Structure 1
Amino acid sequence: MKLKLERMILPVVLVFGMTGIAMPAEGQSVLQAIEKEISQLLEQNRACVVRIHAIYAPADRDESLQYGSGYTHGTGFVFDPEGFVMTVDKAVVGAREIRVTLANGEVRTASFVASDPTSDVAVIHVDTSEDLPHVLPGNSDAVRVGHYSFILGNAFGQLLPSIGSVYEVNRDEDLIQLTSTVHPSYGGAPVFDSAGQVLGMVWAAPFQTGDPLATVAQEAPMTVFVIPMNRLERIARDLVRQGQVNYGWLGVEVDEHSFPVVVTRVTENGPAWKCGIRRGHRILSYGGHTITGPFHLRRLVMETPPGTAIQIRLEGEDRDVAAEVQVTERTRADADGRELSEFDPGSAVLSHDVRAQSPPEEMLFDQIRAVEQELGRLRKLIRSP
C-alpha cells in the first residue's frame, strides 16, 4: 500500500495553546487584537528559528529528500543560548557540512552533535562567541484539543507561518496531532503556546503517493505529528551529555490488536523470560500504570531507565500473577527502527525486538478507516428509499 508517512526534513513547529485573549484597545476590534498577539508571538520567536542547509557527498544523499544536487534544507530551533539547535535527524545525519541561516540572514557553520534514530531527533551546535536567542520550553502535558497551533517553517528559504489547531493528544504514544498546512521541509519545528513557550516539534506528516486511500487522507485536513516538548527535553539532554539515548528493553512481542495486551513471543533469556513471562500472558499493568494498548506498553518500557526493577501484573489462564522484571538497555540490534514507510496491513505484531509499525502510521490508518466507515454509511443513506 502506497500511503507514505514522510518525516519532514525542515523543522520548525509551534503548538499554540491559546488560554486567553487580551482586551482590545480602544477603537480596535477583537480580531485586530488577536492578529496583533499572533504577530507579536511569531516576531518574538523568529530569532530562535534557524534554516538548516546540509551538504552531502553525491553518493550519500537521500534522493527523496533532495532539493538540488547533494543538498537538503531543513528547519531547527535554538534551545540553549550556547548554540545548541534541535531538529529532525533527516535534516543533518550523514551530512558532510552543515550551515545554518539565522533570522537576521547571517550564515554560520554548525557541527553535528548526536541523533536518536528511535525518535528521529537530532542536535547540532552553531559556532558562536555570544549567547543566541533561544526558545522557552513549555509544559506539553498542558496541551489540550482545540488549542491553536502556529507553525513557523523554512519554506523555500523563507520562514513562513502556518496556523492550525490541536485535534488529538495521544498520551499512549506521547504524540500531539495538529491540523495545519505544511511543507515537507517543516519537520523539526518548535511549538509555541499563548505565552510564547515551545510545546513540541513537528515530526511527520502524510504525503500522497498515488494510492486511493492516500487520496482519502489527503482530502482530510493535513495531519501533522508533533513530539511533545517534555519528551524532547529528555532526549536533547541525553544527546548533549552522552551522545545517545538509553532506552529500556523488555524482550517481548505482543498482539497489536488485542486488549488486554497479549504476549505472542518472548525472547529467550531476555528480561521478560527471566521473570517468568511467557506466550499467552496478558499484561495488565506495568510499574503501576494500567496498560491501555500495545503502544502504551512500548512507550512505558522505552522510558524506563535500564537497570530499573519494575512490577508487572499479568493475567494467566486462571489467575492474575505479579512479576518483577529487571529492565535492560535496548541495543541498536533490538531497536525497532522507527522508519515511516509503506504500511503492511498483514502486520499484527508490535515487537520490542524487531521493527514495528510506528504510532503515526497506526493513528493515520485509524482515521482513514473511520472515513471509509462514514462513506459507507452515507452510501447506504443515499441508496435507501
Structure 2
Amino acid sequence: MNKATFLFLTLLLLAGCTDAEQLPNLAEESPSSATNTPDTAYTEPPLKPLSPGDTNTSTQTTSINKSRTNAITTAVEKANSAIVSITVTEVERGYSPRLDPFYFRYFNMPTEREVQSMGSGFIISEDGLIVTNEHVASKSSKEIMVALADGNQYEAELIGSDELADLSLLKIKNESRTYPHITFSDSDQIMVGEWAIAMGNPFGLFSDGQPSVTVGVVSAKERDFRPDPQDPRLYIEMIQTDAAINRGNSGGPLVNSNGEVIGVNTFIYTGGTSSGFVGMGFAIPSNRVQKIIKQLQSSGEVSLSYDPGMEFLEVTPQLVMANRNIPPIAGVFVTEVNKNGPAYDCGIMPGDIIVKIGEERVSSQTHAEALMREYQEGDEMTLQLYRKGNVYEANMMLRKSVKNK
C-alpha cells in the first residue's frame, strides 16, 4: 500500500468517528424526555364522566318542550276534563205487517225496539249540569248515560229541552262528588279568524275517556239557517268554523284559545253530496245558549211567559206588492197592537216595521219569534222600528198576557 492510499483511509475513518459522536443517542432517549422539554411541555386535563349539565341536551329538550306548549294545548288542557260523551237509548215505535192466519190478511201491528245513539256535551257547573243538543238527548230519551274524561260513567236525567233552539239541559244523578266544569265566553266578542277548537266524541270514539280535538278558525258569524222547511228547528246567529265537526260531535263545545265555550257544535254543511265534513261546521253562540239554558233550568221548557201585545207578518215581496206603503226592507210588519199591552205602552203602532230586536237584525217572522223567546217576563226588550222613512227605538217592558184588547 502506498502512502497516499494509507493516508486517505486514515482520514476517512477519522471523519466517520467524528460524525457518530455528533448524532443523538436515539436508542437511549425515552419518549417522555423528548416531549417534556421546557419549550414543548403540555399537561392533559384529568378526564371526568359526562353529566346532563355538561352538554346542551337538557337546554335543547326544555326549549323543544316549551315550543310544543301553545295557546291551543293550554286551552285543551283547561277544557278537557269538562267534556262528556253521551249515550242515549230511545224507544223507536212503528208498525209491521202481521198475517192473520184465519183470514189470510195483513194487519199493521205496533212494534217497539230500543235504539242507541251517541253525542257529546259539556259540564257547566260543579253539581253536574250538562249542555248538549236537543237532537242528542230529548224528551223521548229512555236512558241517558254520560262518560267523563276521567273514565267514570254516570246516569243523567233530562232537566229540560227546546226543539226550536235544539238545546237540552241534563244533570248527572250522582251527587256524591263535584264535577269539573267549563265557563262561557261572550260570543258577541268573538272575532272572525280567531282560533276555534271543537271538542267531543266523533263517531263514538270516546270509549277511552279522552275527547277528540280538532282545530280551525271562526270563519263567519251570525249565519241563519232552517235546514228543512218541515223541521221545527231554527238556527239563528250561528258561528261558522272550519274546525272538523263530525257525527258524534253534536252537543260538544266550540272553545276559544282561552279554553272558554263560544258555542255548541250542532251541525255541518255537506253540500248535499256526502255526509262527511267539507269545511263548514256551525255552532250555536254561547250568549244564546245561556239564555235558553236559564229558562230550561227554571221551568224545563222555553215559552213566552209574557204577551208583547202585538201581531206581525214577515215583510215579503208578495206583501210589498200588495201594499205599496210597505218598503222592501228586512223585518216584520206590525199589523195589530193591543192597547192594553206592552207594545202599545212603548209607542209601537200598526204599520211599523221591526228591523232589530236587541242587537240582532230581524230577517224573518220565524227569526223574530225565536229572538223573542229568549226574553222573559220582567225583561226589557229594545226594538228598532222603521216608520215612514225614519228609524225609532222603543224599549218594551215585558209582562204577562193581556186578555182585553
TM-score by length of 1: 0.62
Q: Deviations over 1:103-130 (max 9, x none)?
A: 1222211111111222111011112211
1:41 equivalent in alignment to 2:67: no
What's 1:169 paired with? 221
Whether contact under 8 Å (1:203, 1:226) holds in the other structure is: yes
- Aligned partners of 2:215 and 2:303: how far apart in 1? 35
What's 2:115 paired with? 70
For residue 76 of structure 1, give the secondary structure of its aligned residue in structure 2: strand
For residues 75-224 of structure 1, what are the structure 2 equivalents within 5 Å?
A: 75-93=120-138, 94-128=140-174, 129-155=176-202, 156-158=204-206, 159-170=211-222, 173-208=236-271, 214-215=272-273, 221-224=278-281
Root-mean-square deviation over aligned CA pairs? 3.9
For residue 91 of structure 1, give the secondary structure of its aligned residue in structure 2: coil
What's 1:379 paired with? none
- Aligned partners of 1:194 and 1:37: how far apart in 2? 6
- Aligned partners of 1:78 and 1:308: how far apart in 2? 27
For residue 73 of structure 1, give the secondary structure of its aligned residue in structure 2: strand
For residue 70 of structure 1, give the secondary structure of its aligned residue in structure 2: strand
1:261 equivalent in alignment to 2:324: no
For residue 117 of structure 2, give the secondary structure of its aligned residue in structure 1: strand
- Aligned partners of 1:82 and 1:134: how far apart in 2? 9
Partner amino acid, structure 2, of 1:140: S
Whether contact under 8 Å (2:331, 2:362) holds in the other structure is: no
Q: Deviations over 1:240-283 (max 9, x none)?
A: 222223446553121257753354573686969967743x5433
- Aligned partners of 1:309 and 1:163: how far apart in 2? 38
Whether contact under 8 Å (1:262, 1:281) holds in the other structure is: no
- Aligned partners of 1:29 and 1:327: how far apart in 2? 59
- Aligned partners of 2:89 and 2:141: how far apart in 1? 6
For residues 296-375 of structure 1, what are the structure 2 equivalents within 5 Å?
A: 297-298=368-369, 300-306=371-377, 314-316=385-387, 327=398
Q: Deviations over 1:153-179 (max 9, x none)?
A: 212232322211101122994321111
Whether contact under 8 Å (2:334, 2:349) holds in the other structure is: no
- Aligned partners of 1:310 and 1:49: how far apart in 2? 34
Whether contact under 8 Å (1:259, 1:293) holds in the other structure is: no
- Aligned partners of 1:219 and 1:110: how far apart in 2? 30
Whether contact under 8 Å (2:265, 2:284) holds in the other structure is: yes
Which protein has the larger Cα radius of gyration, Structure 1 or Structure 2? 2
What's 1:19 paired with? none
For residue 295 of structure 2, give the secondary structure of its aligned residue in structure 1: helix
Q: Displacement, 1:30?
A: 9.0
Q: Displacement, 1:33?
A: 2.5
- Aligned partners of 1:108 and 1:162: how far apart in 2? 26
Whether contact under 8 Å (1:260, 1:291) holds in the other structure is: no
Whether contact under 8 Å (1:55, 1:98) holds in the other structure is: yes
For residue 266 of structure 1, give the secondary structure of its aligned residue in structure 2: strand
What's 2:290 paired with? 233
For residue 56 of structure 1, give the secondary structure of its aligned residue in structure 2: strand
1:244 equivalent in alignment to 2:301: yes
Q: Displacement, 1:228?
A: 1.9
For residue 201 of structure 1, give the secondary structure of its aligned residue in structure 2: strand
Q: Displacement, 1:144?
A: 0.2
1:282 equivalent in alignment to 2:328: no
Of the structure 1 ranges 184-193 and 78-87, higher mean CA displacement relative to structure 2 is found in 184-193
Partner amino acid, structure 2, of 1:104: D
Q: Displacement, 1:37?
A: 4.5
Whether contact under 8 Å (1:251, 1:272) holds in the other structure is: no
1:322–1:130 distance in 2 versus 1, CA, 3 Å: closer
1:321–1:236 distance in 2 versus 1, CA, 3 Å: closer
Q: Displacement, 1:318?
A: 7.8
Whether contact under 8 Å (2:354, 2:362) holds in the other structure is: no
- Aligned partners of 1:106 and 1:117: how far apart in 2? 29
Of the structure 1 ranges 170-179 and 96-105, higher mean CA displacement relative to structure 2 is found in 170-179
TM-score by length of 2: 0.59
Whether contact under 8 Å (1:176, 1:228) holds in the other structure is: yes
Q: Which blocks of at least 5 consecutive residues in structure 1 are unaligned?
A: 1-24, 61-67, 209-213, 331-385
- Aligned partners of 1:119 and 1:178: how far apart in 2? 19
Q: Which blocks of at least 5 consecutive residues in structure 2 are unaligned?
A: 1-58, 95-112, 225-235, 318-326
- Aligned partners of 2:276 and 2:152: how far apart in 1? 39
Identical-pair percentage: 21
Whether contact under 8 Å (1:254, 1:263) holds in the other structure is: yes
